[in-house]
Every structure is written in structure tokens, then in C-alpha cells.
Structure 1
Amino acid sequence: MALSNRAHRKALLLTLSATAVAATLTVPAQASPAPPAALTWKPCASAAGATECATLSVPMDYRDPRGQRVDLAVSRLRGADSPAKRGTLLVIPGGPGGSGVARLATKGAELRKQTGGAYDIVAFDPRGVGGSTQADCGISDDDREITHLRPWPGPDGDITANIARARRVATACQTDGGAMLRNISTANEVRDIESLRTALGEEKLSAWGVSYGTYVGAVYAQKYPHRTDRWVLDSSGDPDPNRVERGWSANMSAAADDSFPDFAAWAADPSRDRAHRLAERAEDVRPMFLELAAKLDAAPRKFADPAHFPLTGNRLRQALQQGLYTKNSFEPLAELILAARDTTGPLKVRDVLPGGPLGQSETAVVVGTLCNDVSWPHDLRSYARAVTADRARHPLTAGMPVGVMPCAFWKTAPTDKPVRITPRGPSNILMIQNLRDPSTPHRGALEMRRSLGDRARLVTVDSGGHGAYLANGNACGDRAVTDFLTTGRRPAGDVVCPKQ
């Protein structure tokens, strides 16, 4: 998770790694909260059609179940009232910081159609974002601009500004984020899903997790295997406890290299109109792009719309990385490149990136999840060395994926150690993955597949983009997932769906 621009912003902030030892998510027996009350459903105030909304109250800190509470916004699209109805299918959003309610609004109707109304389709906004109790670190607008929050180094690879910014953000979140920020983590999102299952009155859940949501889904299936029915993991990262989160970000360097040829071929297609064709040959697009980014490093361009940040080299690189998420972004990306290359004066084309800063709540949830989940290196010299090496190997991403994040200055250790995903549990997981994913590369999905063993089957789709099911028009991949959700049948072994 094609993804919306807002979903891109959240999914793009996926990152980073860990040095923690594997363990299961555990809550002391004496801390187990009382079962949540049943949900009270009512028509959603802001959604058309048959979508219903409810609020679920859960503990802020599951170690203190009688303490402070947080509210989770929940939405539901009811299935058909028939004997064939199977139960509840949970949509787990990406991010961290993605809204499940928003994803249900964009994908729910198609998912219901594909599954023939066999499920009540349910989603929720994770704690901290959307309609749930929101998190807020009080981070400045400038520090929440996407090419600042993500650690794009200076034109010469200098990370001094990244260090200062990461330190400011870490200080803001740990000083002003309060108990809410301290209790944002994958572990607590998994516990919230279990609370939601209980409130729904379901013995088991089926699920469709996308991007970061695949990690949440895999951890839930590891901790509560007897509560899973039909489980779909779409666009997975490497779940190894030594590589989650920081390693996910680092993987994006090679992932951009994997997926860029799709854009280059599109942009050099002889049938492309002059407003979008960037070069005569596909092999000329990459050097042209790198040259343009270097020029913008030296002389940024302003937009006619003052709401947009200037187009720097790093902002163009970020626009590329984001544009590779879906073919729907190829046209505006090509328009931006042509305008920056061939015109003078203020840019009057669409900016691929959002004009303003990321929201306070989504920024806080991204930072809180990444930094609370795992321990990060604190040696700043190691980041400088990594950026230098990565810039040389992968100039499209210029060292950003291995740069300094606020977690380098985090002062508290993770409350929960990351979970090791294992083959122990029911064989009821279907993975689907694009071969050229710019965010969660195929090599990471292979690690998830190896970790799950016979519990899973992997459907590889010969496609670029981030998000495979109901995303890129590949009938083979869509059919495999739909068949699994409606009949329970999985392929006998891993399969590859050809390009379409």
C-alpha cells in the first residue's frame, strides 16, 4: 500500500533496524485487562454509504490496565447477511502512522465486491493518529517537512543538519510527547488488535495487512496463532529482529534501483507525448535525472504556488522515490522533471510531494514506533560512514535510507523486545509481493517467507510499485488473494504471476 498521496507519505516513512534479542510479546498475567465492552456502531458522520463507525477504549499502558485509556476509531463495512458469511476481515494499514479508517474508505467497497460480502470488513486508526486519541510532540513545521524529517544529507553528503534535526525531534517527543508517545509501538498495536477482536466477539480474525501492516500482522499471528483465520501479508519487509525498522529503511536504497527501470522505460517510450517523454532511450533517463538533481542542489527552484517548498535536489529525489510507488505518479513526476530541466522562472507544474509539513500526529507515531520498538546505534560516526558508502552505491537515494533518525538520540530502551517470526502455527498465511517494490523490496519478503516456513505461500507479481493486491491490475495476483480469502485455497507452492 495504487496508494493515495496521503498513504504514500505515511508508507514512505517506514524505516530502520534493531539490535534487540528475539522474544515474544508478553504482558504479565496480573496485568491482563478486563475484556472490552462490545462496540456500539452508528453511521459514520464523514463517510457515505453503508460504513459504520464505533469507538474502542483500550489501556494506554497494558501493564496498567486500570490506568489511563485511549480511544481507537473503528469503522466497518458489513458483509452480506447469508449463511456463506465467514466472519470479520481486518484491514491493517501501513506506515507507521497510516489510517485504517481511511484505507477502508478507499479499498473497502472493492474488497467487499471481490470477496462477495463474505466478511464484515473492519479497520481502525492506530493509537495516535486519525480519529483515535492523537499523539503530538510539538515538532516545528520545518522539521516535519518530508525531506527534513527523512534524513536526506547535504549535497556533499554532510549529515550535520540531519544530526541537529534528529536531536531536536527526539528531545521534543521525549519531553512533550507524554505517556501517549511512550506507549506507541508495534507491540501495543498488536495488543490493540487483540482487544478489538474480543470487542467484536470473534473467535478468529482474517486480515489483509499492507507494508508496515504486514509486520504488525506477522507479529499478531506469532503471538496469537489460534486467533488467525485467513491471513494476507501484502508487501512485506524482513522480520528478523536484528534488521527490522532501521534495516527496512536501508533496503530502500537498492529498492529504488530495482524499480527505477520501470519509470525509465515508461519515460523513454516512443509513444509517450512530448509533455512526458524524458529521453530517447531508457538508459539515458537515470544520468539525466542525477544531473538535474545535482543542479537543483546548487540552485533550487521555486514554485508559483507559495504553499510548496522549493524544489531542491533532495526534494526531487524524494519525489522520485515516492513516484515509484505507483504508475499513476509517473505522469506528474515526468512533468516535474521536464519543467525543472527545461524552463526558467517559478515552476507551474504539479508538485508530486505535499505542499506543507506532515501532520503532528502522524509524525509522532512514526517517530514513536521506530524508536520505541528497537534500540538504535548512537555512534554518529557510523552513520556518516554508512551515508558515504550508500551514496556511492545508490546515488538515486543519496544516502538518505541509512541516515541519522531521532532514534539515535532516544534515551529509553524498548519496553518489549521485537518478536522472532517462526514456522510455528497454522498454515493459513498468503503473502503477495511485487518483484520491483521501491519501499519493501522482494528480498525482504523472501526473508519473511523463510521465517514463516510452511505457514505461508508467496505469490510474486512481476510488477513495480508498492502494494500488490487490488493495486496494479495484475489479475493473476488479485485472483490468488481473492481465492484464498473466499475459499481458503492457497497455491501448493510459491508462484510467480507474469507481467500484465
Structure 2
Amino acid sequence: MTVVIGLVGSLATAPAAAAGGRTGQVEWGACPAPIAAAAPTVQCGTVTVPLDYRDPGGTQIDLMVSRIPSTDPEKRRGVLLLNPGGPGGSALTMPHDLVGLGVPASVTDAYDLIGMDPRGVGYSARIDCGFTDEQGYPGNVPPWAEDDAAVLKQAAAARAVAEQCAAHDTGGRMAHISTANTARDLDRIRAALGEQKASFFGLSYGSALGAAYASMFPDTTDRVIIDSNVGDTALTRAGLRRFGLGLEQAFPGFARWAAARHTSYGLGRTPRQVRATYFALAERLDEQPLPWMDGRLFRLATFASLYRESDYPVLARAWQQVKDSGAAPAGPQPAAAPSPYSNFFSAFLAVTCNDSEWPSNVGVYRRSVAEDRVKYPMFGAASANINPCAFWSLGPTEPQVAVNDDGPANVLILQNRRDAATPLWGGQIIRAKFAHRSRLVTVDENQHGVYVFDDNPCALDIGTAWLVDGVLPPDTTCAASTRSGLNLDREGEQRRAETLRKRPLGTVTTN
């Protein structure tokens, strides 16, 4: 089974960009066929950077970058570097994706939109741990731990994955796949494009990359938006554990929605009853899994489906199918074919494990799981569980990037109030760290992703005013939009949901 948690998609509806050309040191041309098919309006090129910045004259790697040029050269102010999250997510199609999502023309007039495959990802010095479908690696969220024995079982599996990644690192690249090095790459890309400064927009894990980039390069970063924040310059263990809090805060919106449609879905007449249905179905699937769903996947699919209100009907239907299905034997095991998400899983692990210190004592995770099972009973025993970073042998090779508040006030923080993956707390944490340099916009929405991804006019206007006019607001709260989420017209919402669904931000698989 596979759950794909996505933010950025692709629509072939934007006007085509001018072909070819050179910007600084970058020669622009056609993109690889898969990128061109998904994002026909982008051009691609390469930038060469050191694998190890401590040895700038040593091994070099090529990073693939993409762009949609400014649509009005007279209004152009520079470049806007993009990152959709992960870590491990590709941004090559992101310029096209943002246009498809309706980024204002004033933004595309002002900036060349610049995407990239970060180092280790896709076409940029790709790394791979060799994951297969048969292996059933659970991806970027550890499996649900129903008891202490499950943590010990997961510890053995996590150790094996860490050893597998080390064995596949024949080129010696994995130790150099980190947020700090990706931030250095961003500044090299800026210079290669011939720009004195570069602006940046990143969301989810991209917020950590943006925080690191602004901290390491305060003099060459221009206008920065960090959206749906993990609360630090890395996706740390504390950030991963906040998934449990995020699910608890985001779930009531779905529970109210489902209770109002009790006659259609039968999941409960009140939000409390819908919550009780969640636990009843999860526990039943723990004991009697279906061929297509077990308790671990049920919890994970619920978490992923709370990223967007537009997914509520799909989630309710899935619950309904589980509720109405009897027990059945497990289906056939997947073949030992390479996992299509192997590169994503590998890059996620390399960045996450290299960025910060993770406890190696299994007892720490046993205690955390016990605590979070009580504190965040819907999901905490998953996100607190042990992962391969506990046994990672390739890093960290340098300390985590420290937030640098000594610089221009140029960081706009956008944060939804209820976000399953990055709860409001993350935005508040990074606001306190960037005490002088940032402003926080808190948006009363129930979704992952704010700028362009929410249909919230207040947040859209603030983000656009910052990028285009340089207006950094005071800390602000945006009220919920009366046209957000499922209140959009059905045809428009279906198009938007399809856009958001196509490109994986975080992908997890289970048998």
C-alpha cells in the first residue's frame, strides 16, 4: 500500500516560456523528458558545485535547476528560489506548479521562478539506499507502535535500514546531503544566475531550508517566505514528534465535517463520535487487517488526508469502506522491484539524519512512545517511534545551522492555525528565534500550505505585497476565508485538488 502526501502538483495551463538563452553561467534548454511532460513551461540547466564545501577544489557535482523567466522584463526585480518540502522533494516542476495554482501575475512579472533538484535528489547527484517494494519500508514516518515490543521490533528494522544505506553509499555522497550544504548550493545558484541577491519561497521542510539559507547568507538573501514551518533549520526529532500534536489539532475540522454528513457516511452524529470511530476502526484493523488496509496504514492515511480539506470526502469514503468490510486474509506480497520512492526515502534520511543529532539509545524512544501515546493518542506513538537516524553512521558531519537573527528584517513566516504536519507551534518557535528579522502571519485555516495553497485572500495579499512591493507587515492574524477548502465551486476545487495531489512531498509505504 502507498500513501502519497503531496503539496505541489502540475498543470499544463500556463503560457510557454521563451526557449533557450543564458542567465549568468547557466545555459538554459530543454528539460529531461519526465520533467518536460509534467511541466512543459519550464526550462532546465545545470550549476556545478563542490560535493564537500570544505574541499572546494575536490569532487564536483552538477545540480539541475529550472526556471520560468519573468513575464515582464521591465518589472523584473530578480529571482525567486523555490523548495516544496520533503526533505527529498524535487522543485524542478515547481515554477510551473505555482503558475497552475494561480500565483499572481505581479509575482511572475517581478521574478524568474527558479526550481531545482536539491543535491541527492533526482537529476542532482542522485543517492539511493536501494529500497524495494517487497521491503515495505514505511518511509518518512515510523510505523505505529501499539506497545513497547513494537518499538523494539522497529529498532531492529531501523538499524537494518541505516546499514543498508551505508552499504549503498559507494560514491561517498550521503554524508554531504544536508540542509547546510543545500543552502550553500542555493547561494551558488544565485551567483551562477548573475544575481547580487535572491529571494526564496519554501514550505514544510522548505521552511527549514529557508531558515538555514537566511541564517547562513543574510547579506545575499532578499525577500524570504517560509511557509508551514517545522520550527527550526532542520527537521529534527522534536519536529517529527510534533506530527502527533498536528493530527490532534487538525482532526476536529474533519470530525465536524463528517458529523454534519452522518446520514451519508455513518461515521458519527457528533465530532466526539467520529473520534471514537477512528479509534474503533484503527484497533479493529490492528487485530483484523484487510488486504488493502491495516491499523498502521489507517492512521497514516488519516494523517495524510488532513493536509487538505478537499480530501475529506475521500477520507470519509475510505473510513466507510473499512467500517463496512469484514475481516479477510492478507493479499499477495509485492514483488522485489525497486521502489519508485527509493530516491525520495534515501534523500529524506540523508538530510534528516545528517542535519542534527538523534539519540542512539533505544530506551529514549521507548519512553517517548509511551509518553506520546498518552499525550497524542491518535498518532503520537508513530511519530515518536525510532527511525534509522538513531543508527546513522554517515553524519552529522557538521553542527546544525544556528538561526542567525543578526541581519535584515526580511523573513515572512506564514502559518495555518491547524496543520497536521506543521502545527502552529512551529511557526511560533521560528518567530521567536528570528526575533528581529521576521514577522508571523497566523492564518485561521485547516490545511498544510498557506501562500497560494490556501484560498485565503488575506494571506495571499500579504505574501504578494512582500514579494512584489517589499511590504513586511507587523505580526498579523488572517481570519478564515469564506471561500476556503470545500466552499470553492466543485469544478475549481477538483482542478485544485488534482494539482496539489500529483507531486509527492512526503511519501510513505507499507505492506
TM-score past 0.5 threshold: yes
* Match of residue 6 from structure 2: 7
* Match of residue 73 from structure 2: 82
1:419 is aligned to 2:408: no
**1:61 Cα deviation after fit:** 1.5
Give the whole-Å Cα distance in 1 for the aligned partners of 2:211 and 2:140: 27
**1:223 Cα deviation after fit:** 1.1
Give the whole-Å Cα distance in 2 for the aligned partners of 1:266 and 1:227: 46
Give the whole-Å Cα distance in 1 for the aligned partners of 2:450 and 2:210: 16
Give the whole-Å Cα distance in 2 for the aligned partners of 1:356 and 1:327: 33
* Match of residue 163 from structure 2: 171
Contact kept, 8 Å, 1:50 with 1:78, in 2: the verdict is no
Q: Pairwise mapping of residues 115-134 of structure 1 onto structure 2 (< 5 A)?
A: 115-134=107-126
* Match of residue 230 from structure 2: 237
Contact kept, 8 Å, 2:223 with 2:410, in 1: the verdict is yes
Equivalent AA in structure 1 for residue 125 of structure 2: T
**1:413 Cα deviation after fit:** 4.3
* Match of residue 25 from structure 1: none
Give the whole-Å Cα distance in 2 for the aligned partners of 1:482 and 1:115: 7
Contact kept, 8 Å, 2:7 with 2:84, in 1: the verdict is no
* Match of residue 190 from structure 2: 197
* Match of residue 254 from structure 1: 245
Contact kept, 8 Å, 1:126 with 1:132, in 2: the verdict is yes
Equivalent AA in structure 2 for residue 39 of structure 1: V
Q: Pairwise mapping of residues 26-65 of structure 1 onto structure 2 (< 5 A)?
A: 38-44=25-31, 45=33, 46-47=36-37, 49-65=40-56
Matched residue SS, 1:392: helix
* Match of residue 295 from structure 1: 284
Contact kept, 8 Å, 1:144 with 1:358, in 2: the verdict is no
Give 2:446's match in structure 1, choosing from 460, 464, 482.
464
**1:69 Cα deviation after fit:** 2.4
**1:434 Cα deviation after fit:** 0.2
Equivalent AA in structure 1 for residue 28 of structure 2: W
Equivalent AA in structure 2 for residue 487 of structure 1: D
Give the whole-Å Cα distance in 1 for the aligned partners of 2:274 and 2:132: 36
* Match of residue 13 from structure 2: none
Contact kept, 8 Å, 1:155 with 1:294, in 2: the verdict is no
Equivalent AA in structure 2 for residue 64 of structure 1: D
Contact kept, 8 Å, 1:422 with 1:453, in 2: the verdict is no
1:217 is aligned to 2:210: yes
Contact kept, 8 Å, 1:145 with 1:356, in 2: the verdict is no
* Match of residue 428 from structure 1: 410
Contact kept, 8 Å, 2:288 with 2:328, in 1: the verdict is no
**1:154 Cα deviation after fit:** 4.2
Aligned Cα root-mean-square deviation (Å): 2.5
**Distance change (3 Å), C-alpha of 1:8 and 1:113:** closer
Structure 1 range deviating more: 78-87 or 212-221: 78-87
**1:292 Cα deviation after fit:** 0.4
Q: Pairwise mapping of residues 312-331 of structure 1 onto structure 2 (< 5 A)?
A: 312-331=294-313
Q: Deviations over 1:12-63 (max 9, x none)?
A: xxxxxxxxxxxxxxxxxxxxxxxx9711101334145432111222222222
Q: Deviations over 1:96-139 (max 9, x none)?
A: 01111133332145335252511111010111112222101123
Give the whole-Å Cα distance in 2 for the aligned partners of 1:273 and 1:90: 47
Contact kept, 8 Å, 1:208 with 1:233, in 2: the verdict is yes
* Match of residue 367 from structure 1: 349
Matched residue SS, 1:122: strand
Contact kept, 8 Å, 1:210 with 1:467, in 2: the verdict is yes
TM-score where L is the length of structure 2: 0.83
Give the whole-Å Cα distance in 1 for the aligned partners of 2:282 and 2:327: 17
Q: Deviations over 1:159-194 (max 9, x none)?
A: 122111100110011222231212111111011111
**1:64 Cα deviation after fit:** 2.3
Give the whole-Å Cα distance in 1 for the aligned partners of 2:185 and 2:282: 43
Contact kept, 8 Å, 2:175 with 2:394, in 1: the verdict is no
Give 2:92's match in structure 1, choosing from 91, 96, 101.
101
* Match of residue 475 from structure 2: 494
**1:346 Cα deviation after fit:** 7.4
1:156 is aligned to 2:147: yes
Give the whole-Å Cα distance in 1 for the aligned partners of 2:8 and 2:451: 19
Contact kept, 8 Å, 2:80 with 2:198, in 1: the verdict is yes
| Structure 1 unaligned spans of 5+ | 11-35, 303-309, 348-354
Give the percent of matched residue pairs that are identical in Structure 1 and Structure 2.
34
**Distance change (3 Å), C-alpha of 1:435 and 1:154:** closer
**1:68 Cα deviation after fit:** 2.3
Contact kept, 8 Å, 1:91 with 1:209, in 2: the verdict is yes
Give the whole-Å Cα distance in 2 for the aligned partners of 1:380 and 1:401: 15
**1:497 Cα deviation after fit:** 0.5
Give the whole-Å Cα distance in 2 for the aligned partners of 1:356 and 1:6: 20
Give the whole-Å Cα distance in 1 for the aligned partners of 2:339 and 2:370: 28
* Match of residue 128 from structure 2: 136
Give the whole-Å Cα distance in 2 for the aligned partners of 1:88 and 1:430: 17
Give the whole-Å Cα distance in 1 for the aligned partners of 2:56 and 2:442: 42
**Distance change (3 Å), C-alpha of 1:224 and 1:447:** same
Give the whole-Å Cα distance in 1 for the aligned partners of 2:369 and 2:303: 17
Equivalent AA in structure 2 for residue 177 of structure 1: D
Q: Pairwise mapping of residues 259-408 of structure 1 onto structure 2 (< 5 A)?
A: 259-270=250-261, 274=264, 276=265, 278-302=267-291, 310-344=292-326, 357=339, 359-408=341-390
TM-score where L is the length of structure 1: 0.85
1:442 is aligned to 2:431: no
Aligned residues: 452
| Structure 2 unaligned spans of 5+ | 10-22, 330-336, 482-511
Matched residue SS, 1:369: helix
Equivalent AA in structure 1 for residue 6 of structure 2: A
**1:78 Cα deviation after fit:** 0.8
Matched residue SS, 1:74: strand
Give the whole-Å Cα distance in 2 for the aligned partners of 1:398 and 1:356: 30
Equivalent AA in structure 2 for residue 7 of structure 1: G
Give the whole-Å Cα distance in 1 for the aligned partners of 2:404 and 2:123: 34
